[in-house]
Amino acid sequence: TEIDWNYFFSRIWPKLTMANPQAKSLSASAVFAEIHSFIKGSFTALDQPGGRLPREEYLRLPAKMAPNFKGLSASDKITDLPGDKRGNRDLIYDLFEAYEVEKRRLNAYDISDLVQNLWQRLQQTPYPGTPIHALFVDETQDFVQAELRLFLHICSNKN
């Protein structure tokens, strides 16, 4: 089963909010976007074990890069987060971990898992198909960094 936005919102989000009442005040779409844009969909997530940013690295993303939820500044320690964690990236990461548990329970995958799988395969074995010289993409802003990195990796002309 592929977990897309509709599946996440209708079947997984209710379970996440039931298990973590703080999540009820958050936008499901903002959480879904945060998971797929930063935790699993960032350029650097592809190089991490499991294809995800570690919690502390996610918490330290600059506010200009990931402005939706409060993270840590360079001088903060992970123990400096407020006790309630409400609206902070720490809570988002908790929800992400719960999402991953539920996804495994369902034996499901999402687009970020697909991108990670392709990336790992291409790191082990170069792209064996017909050479791709260029790729033209409409609505580039709708792709996350990891997807764009994958596209660039398989093109011979990176410009």
Residue-wise pLDDT tens digits, 109-132: 999 999 999 999 999 998 888 989
pTM score, two decimals? 0.86
Contact (CB, 8 A) for 76 and 63? no
Mean pLDDT to the nearest integer, 84-90: 62
Contact (CB, 8 A) for 17 and 8? no
Residue-wise pLDDT tens digits, 34-51: 999 999 999 999 999 899
| 84 pLDDT higher than 50 | no
Long-range contacts of 29-35 (CB under 8 A, 24+ apart): 29/5, 30/68, 30/69, 31/92, 31/95, 32/5, 32/8, 33/68, 34/66, 34/68, 34/69, 34/89, 34/92, 34/96, 35/92, 35/95, 35/96, 35/99, 35/112
Would you state the pLDDT for residue 22?
86
